[in-house]
A = this chain, B = another copy of it.
Amino acid sequence: MKIGILGTGDVGRTLGSKLVETGNTVMLGSRKPDNEQGLAFAAAHKGKAEAGTMAETAAFGEVIFNCTPGTVSLEALTLAGEKNLNGKILIDVANPLDFSKGMPPTLSVSNTTSLGEEIQNKYPKVRVVKAFNTIWNGLMVNPALVNGGDHDIFICGNDKQAKEKVREIIHSFGWMDKNIVDLGDISAARGTEMYLPLWLRIMGTAGNGSFNIKIVK
Protein backbone atom coordinates (compact mmCIF):
# COMPACT_ATOMS: atom_id res chain seq x y z
CA MET A 1 0.00 0.00 0.00
CA LYS A 2 1.11 3.60 -0.57
CA ILE A 3 1.41 5.43 2.73
CA GLY A 4 1.90 9.16 3.21
CA ILE A 5 3.44 10.27 6.47
CA LEU A 6 3.15 13.93 7.42
CA GLY A 7 6.12 14.80 9.62
CA THR A 8 9.76 13.74 9.48
CA GLY A 9 10.48 13.51 13.22
CA ASP A 10 11.24 10.41 15.27
CA VAL A 11 7.64 9.20 15.21
CA GLY A 12 7.20 9.62 11.45
CA ARG A 13 10.51 7.97 10.61
CA THR A 14 9.99 5.08 13.04
CA LEU A 15 6.53 4.33 11.65
CA GLY A 16 7.80 4.88 8.11
CA SER A 17 10.63 2.34 8.50
CA LYS A 18 8.23 -0.25 9.88
CA LEU A 19 5.74 0.39 7.08
CA VAL A 20 8.49 -0.14 4.49
CA GLU A 21 9.59 -3.30 6.32
CA THR A 22 6.00 -4.62 6.25
CA GLY A 23 5.77 -4.20 2.47
CA ASN A 24 4.46 -0.70 1.89
CA THR A 25 5.88 2.22 -0.05
CA VAL A 26 6.16 5.39 1.96
CA MET A 27 6.43 9.11 1.30
CA LEU A 28 7.61 11.29 4.15
CA GLY A 29 6.24 14.82 3.97
CA SER A 30 7.54 18.08 5.35
CA ARG A 31 7.13 21.80 4.78
CA LYS A 32 10.20 21.91 2.59
CA PRO A 33 10.80 19.30 -0.12
CA ASP A 34 14.53 19.31 0.71
CA ASN A 35 14.03 18.41 4.38
CA GLU A 36 17.21 16.60 5.41
CA GLN A 37 15.54 13.90 7.47
CA GLY A 38 13.07 13.20 4.68
CA LEU A 39 15.83 12.89 2.08
CA ALA A 40 17.95 10.68 4.38
CA PHE A 41 14.94 8.44 4.98
CA ALA A 42 14.27 8.14 1.23
CA ALA A 43 17.94 7.33 0.60
CA ALA A 44 17.96 4.67 3.33
CA HIS A 45 14.92 2.93 1.82
CA LYS A 46 15.79 3.46 -1.85
CA GLY A 47 12.98 2.37 -4.20
CA LYS A 48 10.52 2.01 -1.35
CA ALA A 49 10.47 5.51 0.07
CA GLU A 50 10.38 9.09 -1.10
CA ALA A 51 10.40 12.53 0.45
CA GLY A 52 8.01 15.29 -0.57
CA THR A 53 6.00 18.28 0.48
CA MET A 54 2.95 17.92 2.70
CA ALA A 55 0.71 18.20 -0.39
CA GLU A 56 2.72 15.67 -2.43
CA THR A 57 2.69 13.26 0.50
CA ALA A 58 -1.06 13.55 1.04
CA ALA A 59 -1.66 13.05 -2.71
CA PHE A 60 0.68 10.02 -2.74
CA GLY A 61 -0.81 8.13 0.21
CA GLU A 62 -3.80 5.83 0.14
CA VAL A 63 -3.56 6.04 3.92
CA ILE A 64 -2.08 9.09 5.66
CA PHE A 65 -0.38 9.29 9.06
CA ASN A 66 -0.33 12.60 10.90
CA CYS A 67 3.00 12.57 12.74
CA THR A 68 3.45 16.32 13.01
CA PRO A 69 3.60 18.00 16.44
CA GLY A 70 0.03 18.36 17.64
CA THR A 71 0.27 22.11 18.09
CA VAL A 72 0.94 22.57 14.34
CA SER A 73 -1.06 19.66 12.93
CA LEU A 74 -3.96 21.75 11.64
CA GLU A 75 -1.48 23.99 9.84
CA ALA A 76 0.26 20.95 8.34
CA LEU A 77 -3.07 19.57 7.15
CA THR A 78 -3.87 22.90 5.48
CA LEU A 79 -0.60 22.51 3.56
CA ALA A 80 -1.49 18.88 2.79
CA GLY A 81 -4.70 20.10 1.17
CA GLU A 82 -8.28 19.00 1.69
CA LYS A 83 -8.61 17.59 -1.84
CA ASN A 84 -5.58 15.35 -1.24
CA LEU A 85 -7.06 14.07 2.02
CA ASN A 86 -10.77 13.66 1.33
CA GLY A 87 -12.06 10.09 1.37
CA LYS A 88 -8.80 8.78 2.81
CA ILE A 89 -8.00 7.30 6.19
CA LEU A 90 -5.99 9.73 8.30
CA ILE A 91 -4.30 8.09 11.29
CA ASP A 92 -3.81 10.86 13.81
CA VAL A 93 -0.81 10.02 15.97
CA ALA A 94 -0.24 13.55 17.27
CA ASN A 95 -0.67 14.92 20.78
CA PRO A 96 -1.37 18.63 21.24
CA LEU A 97 1.45 19.08 23.75
CA ASP A 98 2.42 22.71 24.21
CA PHE A 99 5.98 23.03 25.51
CA SER A 100 6.11 26.80 24.95
CA LYS A 101 5.66 27.59 28.64
CA GLY A 102 8.24 25.04 29.78
CA MET A 103 7.83 21.72 31.55
CA PRO A 104 5.48 20.09 32.14
CA PRO A 105 3.73 20.76 28.83
CA THR A 106 0.04 21.61 28.80
CA LEU A 107 -2.42 20.52 26.13
CA SER A 108 -3.28 23.21 23.57
CA VAL A 109 -6.74 21.65 23.20
CA SER A 110 -8.41 19.38 25.78
CA ASN A 111 -11.32 18.68 28.08
CA THR A 112 -14.20 19.89 25.87
CA THR A 113 -12.50 18.81 22.64
CA SER A 114 -9.34 17.14 21.30
CA LEU A 115 -7.00 17.36 18.36
CA GLY A 116 -8.59 14.26 16.85
CA GLU A 117 -12.03 15.86 17.01
CA GLU A 118 -10.76 19.21 15.70
CA ILE A 119 -9.30 17.48 12.66
CA GLN A 120 -12.46 15.43 12.06
CA ASN A 121 -14.64 18.55 12.41
CA LYS A 122 -12.52 20.56 10.00
CA TYR A 123 -12.30 17.71 7.45
CA PRO A 124 -15.66 15.91 7.56
CA LYS A 125 -14.84 13.80 4.48
CA VAL A 126 -11.56 12.52 5.93
CA ARG A 127 -11.81 9.22 7.81
CA VAL A 128 -9.92 10.15 10.97
CA VAL A 129 -8.72 7.39 13.29
CA LYS A 130 -6.84 8.38 16.43
CA ALA A 131 -4.20 5.77 17.24
CA PHE A 132 -0.64 5.21 18.55
CA ASN A 133 -0.65 8.47 20.56
CA THR A 134 -0.42 6.84 24.01
CA ILE A 135 2.82 4.98 23.30
CA TRP A 136 6.50 5.76 22.81
CA ASN A 137 7.42 5.33 19.14
CA GLY A 138 9.88 2.50 19.80
CA LEU A 139 7.02 0.43 21.21
CA MET A 140 4.54 1.40 18.50
CA VAL A 141 6.40 -0.75 16.01
CA ASN A 142 7.83 -3.32 18.41
CA PRO A 143 5.28 -4.18 21.10
CA ALA A 144 7.24 -7.32 22.08
CA LEU A 145 9.80 -5.04 23.75
CA VAL A 146 7.71 -5.18 26.94
CA ASN A 147 5.63 -7.91 28.61
CA GLY A 148 5.82 -10.22 25.59
CA GLY A 149 3.76 -7.71 23.64
CA ASP A 150 0.80 -8.07 25.99
CA HIS A 151 -0.24 -4.45 26.62
CA ASP A 152 -2.85 -2.19 25.08
CA ILE A 153 -3.13 0.29 22.24
CA PHE A 154 -6.22 2.44 21.72
CA ILE A 155 -8.04 3.34 18.53
CA CYS A 156 -11.10 5.53 18.03
CA GLY A 157 -12.93 7.12 15.14
CA ASN A 158 -16.33 7.53 13.53
CA ASP A 159 -15.74 5.22 10.52
CA LYS A 160 -15.86 1.52 11.35
CA GLN A 161 -14.22 0.36 8.11
CA ALA A 162 -11.43 2.85 8.61
CA LYS A 163 -10.86 1.50 12.12
CA GLU A 164 -10.74 -2.06 10.76
CA LYS A 165 -8.06 -1.00 8.29
CA VAL A 166 -6.06 0.70 11.04
CA ARG A 167 -6.45 -2.41 13.18
CA GLU A 168 -4.87 -4.43 10.33
CA ILE A 169 -1.95 -2.02 10.13
CA ILE A 170 -1.41 -2.16 13.90
CA HIS A 171 -1.66 -5.94 13.75
CA SER A 172 1.01 -5.98 11.00
CA PHE A 173 3.35 -4.21 13.45
CA GLY A 174 3.17 -7.20 15.80
CA TRP A 175 0.28 -6.22 18.06
CA MET A 176 -2.12 -8.93 19.15
CA ASP A 177 -5.73 -8.31 18.22
CA LYS A 178 -6.87 -8.56 21.86
CA ASN A 179 -4.60 -5.62 22.72
CA ILE A 180 -6.09 -3.26 20.13
CA VAL A 181 -8.84 -1.53 22.11
CA ASP A 182 -11.55 0.30 20.17
CA LEU A 183 -12.83 3.11 22.42
CA GLY A 184 -15.62 4.18 20.08
CA ASP A 185 -16.10 7.42 18.15
CA ILE A 186 -13.52 10.14 17.65
CA SER A 187 -14.54 11.98 20.84
CA ALA A 188 -12.60 9.28 22.73
CA ALA A 189 -9.48 11.08 21.46
CA ARG A 190 -10.14 13.42 24.39
CA GLY A 191 -9.39 10.49 26.67
CA THR A 192 -6.25 9.27 24.93
CA GLU A 193 -4.79 12.77 24.54
CA MET A 194 -5.59 13.76 28.14
CA TYR A 195 -3.75 10.65 29.28
CA LEU A 196 -0.49 12.27 28.22
CA PRO A 197 0.12 14.19 31.47
CA LEU A 198 -0.11 10.86 33.34
CA TRP A 199 2.07 9.17 30.71
CA LEU A 200 4.72 11.85 31.21
CA ARG A 201 4.68 11.39 34.99
CA ILE A 202 4.95 7.61 34.67
CA MET A 203 7.85 8.15 32.27
CA GLY A 204 9.43 10.30 34.99
CA THR A 205 9.36 7.36 37.41
CA ALA A 206 10.22 4.73 34.77
CA GLY A 207 13.21 6.72 33.49
CA ASN A 208 12.33 6.23 29.81
CA GLY A 209 9.40 5.73 27.44
CA SER A 210 9.72 1.97 27.12
CA PHE A 211 6.55 1.16 29.08
CA ASN A 212 2.87 0.92 28.42
CA ILE A 213 -0.34 0.16 30.25
CA LYS A 214 -2.29 -3.05 30.18
CA ILE A 215 -5.94 -3.10 31.14
CA VAL A 216 -6.70 -5.85 33.66
CA LYS A 217 -10.27 -6.90 34.47
Contact = CB atoms under 8 A, between A and B. Distances in A.
A147 B107 CA distance: 33
A43 B205 CA distance: 43
Interface of A: 104, 106-107, 110-112, 146-147, 150-151, 154, 156, 181-184, 187-188, 190-192, 194-195, 197-202, 204-206, 210-217
Q: Is the interface of A mostly helix, strand, loop or mixed?
A: mixed
A183 B202 contact: yes
Given A206-B215, A213-B214, 14 more contacts: A106-B111, A106-B112, A107-B111, A110-B110, A110-B194, A111-B111, A184-B205, A188-B201, A190-B197, A191-B200, A194-B197, A206-B217, A212-B215, A213-B215
Contact of A191 (B190, B192, B197): B197
Contacts of A205: 181-184
B201 A211 contact: no
Contacts of A199: 191
The complex is assembled from copies of this chain, and their number is: 2
Contact of A146 (B107, B201, B217): B217
A171 to B, nearest CB: 18
A101 to B, nearest CB: 9
Contact of A198 (B106, B107, B194): B194
A177 to B, nearest CB: 14
B217 A211 contact: yes
A103 to B, nearest CB: 10
A42 to B, nearest CB: 34
Given A184-B201, A184-B205, A194-B197, A216 B214 contact: yes
A150 to B, nearest CB: 7
A209 B41 CA distance: 45
16 contacts: A104-B187, A110-B111, A111-B197, A146-B216, A147-B216, A147-B217, A150-B216, A151-B216, A183-B198, A183-B202, A188-B201, A194-B194, A194-B198, A206-B215, A213-B216, A214-B216
